[in-house]
Amino acid sequence: MKKLRNVADVASWRLCIGCGACAYVCPSQNVRLVDFLREGIRPVLNDTNCSSCSQCLDVCPGVESRFNAPTAGTSVSMDTAREWGPTLAVWEGHAADPAIRFQGSSGGALTAISAYCLEVLGMHGVLHPAQDSEDPIRNRTRLSRSRSELMAACGSRYSPASVCNGLHLVEAAPAPCVIIGKPSEIAGVRNAERLRPALSSKVGVTLSFFCAETPSTRGTQALLEKLGLDPAQLKDLKYRGRGWPGHFAPVMNGSSEPAHQLTYRESWAFIQAFRPWAAHQWPDGSGETADISCGDPWYEQPDGKNPGSSLVVARTPTGVQIVQGAIRAGYLDLKVAEDWKVTRSQEGLLRKKGAIHGRRLAMRIAGLPVTRFPGLDFNHAWSRLPLREKARSVLGTLVRIVRKGLTKPLDLDPVGSVPVKDPLVEENQQLRTASGS
């Protein structure tokens, strides 16, 4: 088994999921984040001989991610909790504000909860990824402090993000903050909280969403090129939103209207093939470590008339309290939902979770390092797979390891790749603008 000395090794052995927590926690600022076109956001060491501490490994969810034991609320079955992690309550519905509902990817529930936390609970800000206005394919971590800033960032983003590289903003905030991230990013937040009590005291609530992990930047570039568009001329890009489930809608320089529109299923079917190896080894597709998770209600097919709705899953008492408060305050229009809707809506994610159990076995046979997932229940999802799929998950992975040369580490040369922008710079610019200086 390969020994991991630092996060550069984690990335080289294809375990990094690009959360950015290592850059936040490094005491010597020796880690910088780079967007590798075909791999995603990965750490690069300024000093490759760094061995002064192990904090980057301690915080890395690609090394270890801890999960809580399955717990079920009074109206939730234990089978559901074993499949999807702690599930205290499930609702279905949407943001009460029609504008938020329409702009959001699936009913605007995450945006509405965030607005409630800012406007009613008095939280300082919402840390989340958003489109980089200077490079619309890419994302930039930002701290939103108002409804208008949240609305400007509505909608899913299917390109690499690293929300944990903005945890400095949360730790330095005068009051608790909301953090929105992919399941893997929230796992990074939880690791960072264990290392930094000062951060933990400022995390008001964590929000996540059902997610199969993110394609590389090359996925979006290739789709634009397939449509005959020059990625360098892109002005704005919506992957979803403006109805459910929304459209892939690129707007080019010199225009205010989309040059093309693809359905969500058309665009995702193309760009999902650009997910890196690490994305296929990440088992949590539902945000099991978050306080609240939201997901599309795929148990029913979009009819083109529904402006959007979400399944909302509360995983902790904090999550339950915030969802109930947002309902009472008129931010969410939700009703209690049957828990079977979660599984029916996300069967692909559950199959992936089961298959990863077999993929990990194959990686161990090949002598490759694997992520530790203490507390995560693989067995239930694995037991649901047909024998053929179990065999494919092991044997197929062994074949891919050989064909793709995965027994050798990646050579991640940052030359020609794009540095990830520091959210602290953007935050300072916002402060200067607000103060008029």
CA-based nearest residue to 401, from 368, 371, 370, 373: 368
**DSSP string of 48-76?**
TT--S--HHHHH-TTTB---PPP-B-TTS
User: What's residue 155's pLDDT?
Assistant: 85
Strands ordered across the beta sheet of 234-238: 234-238, 247-252, 262-263
pLDDT at 426 over 70: no
Using pLDDT thresholds of 50, 70 and 90, give the confidence band for residue 418.
Answer: very high
Q: 349 — phi, psi (to 5°)?
A: -65, -35
Could you read off the pLDDT of 223-276 as tens digits, one per residue?
999 999 999 999 999 999 888 999 999 999 999 999 999 999 999 999 999 999
pLDDT tens profile 106-125? 899 999 999 999 999 999 99
SS3 of 37, please?
Answer: coil
pLDDT for the residue 160: 97
pLDDT score of 75 more than 70: yes
> What does the pLDDT look like over 391-410, one tens digit per residue?
999 999 999 999 999 999 99
Specify which residues 60 forms β-bridges with. Answer: none
Lowest mean pLDDT across 19-23, 117-121, 129-133: 129-133
SS (H, E, C) 285-305: CCCCCCCEEEECCCCCCCCCC
Taking a C-beta distance cutoff of 8 angstroms, is the pair 285, 211 a contact? yes
Residue 326 in this model has a pLDDT that exceeds 70: yes
Q: Tens digits of per-residue pLDDT, 153-188?
A: 988 899 999 999 999 999 999 999 999 999 999 999
pLDDT of residue 425: 44
What is the rounded distance in angstroms from the CA atom of residue 224 to the CA atom of residue 214?
Answer: 17
pLDDT for the residue numbered 289? 98
Under the banding of pLDDT at 50, 70 and 90, the label for residue 51 is: low
pLDDT at residue 136 tops 60: yes
Question: Which tops the pLDDT comparison, 191 or 417?
Answer: 191
**What is the structure's pLDDT at 431?**
45
Task: Band the pLDDT of 429: cuts 50, 70, 90.
Answer: low
Chain-centroid distance of CA 86 in Å reads: 18
**CA–CA dist 295, 345 (Å, integer):** 8
Q: Residues 6 or more apart from 232 whose CB is under 8 A from it?
A: none
By C-alpha distance, which of 177, 167, 158, 372 is closest to 270?
158
Rounded CA separation 425/145 (Å)? 16
As a whole-number percent, the residues of the chain with pLDDT over 70 amount to 96
Worst-scoring range by mean pLDDT, 47-56, 274-283, 388-397, 417-426? Answer: 417-426
Q: Which residue has the tokens 């694995």?
A: 382
- Residue 126 near residue 117, CB atoms below 8 Å: yes
Whether 29 shows a pLDDT value over 70: the answer reads: yes
Average pLDDT, the chain: 93
Give 291 or 308, the one with higher predicted confidence: 291
Distance separating alpha carbons of residues 248 and 229, to the nearest angstrom: 13
User: Residue 44: pLDDT above 60?
Assistant: yes
Q: Which of 351, 372, 374, 375 is nearest to 363 (CA)?
A: 372
432: pLDDT strictly greater than 60: no
Beta strands in 135-212 (DSSP E): 135-144, 177-180, 203-209
Mean pLDDT computed over 307-319: 96
User: What average pLDDT does range 46-55 have in this prediction?
Assistant: 80
User: Which phi and psi (to 5°) does residue 139 adopt?
Assistant: -115, 165
Taking residues 97-104, what's their average pLDDT? 93
Q: How confident is the model at residue 191 (pLDDT cuts 50, 70, 90)?
A: very high
Q: Which two three-digit tokens encode residue 254? A: 């010199």
**Under 8 Å CB-to-CB from 99, ≥6 apart: which residues?**
151
For residues 227 and 250, what is the distance between their CA atoms, to the nearest angstrom? 10
Is the predicted pLDDT of residue 367 greater than 80, yes or no? yes
* pTM, full prediction: 0.95
Give the pLDDT of residue 436.
Answer: 46
Looking at the DSSP assignment, which residues form a beta bridge with residue 241? 246
